Amino acid sequence: MSEAALTLAGLGVDFSGFKAVSNVSTVIESGELRVLLGANGAGKTTLMDLISGRTPSTEGRVFLFNQDITNKEEFAIARAGLGRKFQIPSVFKELSVRRNLEVASCPSRGVFSNLRFRFPKLSRVRVDEALELVALEDVEHELAANLSHGQTQWLELGLLIVQEPKVLLLDEPTAGMTAAETQKTARIINELKGRHTLVVVEHDMAFVREIAERITVLHLGQIIAEGDIAKIETDPKVKEAYLGSGGIH
């Protein structure tokens, strides 16, 4: 039986009487890829905020490989092994693609100390692997400022990968991408399956179909369904809330 990578137990938050997320309980196994699906306002990003420590919860607990990380500081949760990619990428635009990855992979936390740091062999290996995984070898010496939107998104994903988090939270990783970039992102995420535990927030149904193993559907801050694509697209509660009679397209 797989080990639980992320356990949410009755997790929720109340904003002055408004329950943005309420009583969310689920277990995500080690190496699993879980998609959080839901319309705008369903509570997907807020749930990610609660898990990562960006927003303090008012109920429930969060466990990362049995370590209670509930309401810890974001940096402490990151050091415990949880990495998060936001919708809007954040990279060092004045540095090359490779240098971005080198800075992210170095043991020292300070940016300027990393730039002076003698680069260890193990970090070089991680950078090379990340460049291949996110398919940016051809632009490794290009300044990050000159990348396309999709390439910038992939670089930020690479920045997380070289830090070797146990669990990766990806918030709408295809936002603003072309159809070709979205397809490439699906291939990258499928490559990550099994190497990391992945939680992906997404509403692009075609993309969800490309990557989904197990889906958790949120509606008004609560889980209304969980399962694989076949189960989710035929669930009457999901159809009523989001998908219409046609299912996932």
pLDDT tens figures, 169-205: 999 999 889 999 999 999 999 999 888 999 999 888 8
Q: How confident is the model at residue 110 (pLDDT cuts 50, 70, 90)?
A: low
**Does residue 165 contact residue 83 with C-beta atoms inside 8 Å?**
yes
Least Cα distance to 152 among 196, 207, 93, 78 occurs for 93
**Same structural domain, 61 and 24:** yes
Which residues span the domain enclosing 36?
Answer: 1-80+197-249
Judge whether 34 lies within some domain. yes
Helix (H) or strand (E) holding 72: none
- Structurally, how many domains does the chain consist of? 2
Judge whether 201 lies within some domain. yes
**Same structural domain, 73 and 87:** no
Q: 75 is written with which tokens?
A: 């940096």
Tell me the average pLDDT across 238-245: 72
**Rounded distance, CA 111 to CA 60, Å?**
35
Q: Is the pLDDT of residue 72 over 90?
A: yes
**Same structural domain, 74 and 103:** no
Q: Is the pLDDT of residue 168 over 90?
A: yes
- Which of helix, strand or coil describes residue 187? helix
What one-letter code names the amino acid at 94?
E
- Report residue 74 CA to chain centroid gap: 15
Residue 28: what are its φ and ψ, rounded to 5°?
A: -110, 120
Angle between helix 97-105 and 149-161 (nearest 10): 20
**Same structural domain, 17 and 54:** yes
pLDDT (0 to 100) of residue 195: 86
Q: What is the pTM of this model?
A: 0.88
Give the pLDDT confidence of 120-150 residue by residue, as tens digits. Answer: 666 788 899 999 999 999 999 999 999 999 9
Is residue 61 left, alpha or beta, with left meaning phi > 0 and alpha meaning psi from -120 to 50?
Answer: beta
Judge whether 175 lies within some domain. no
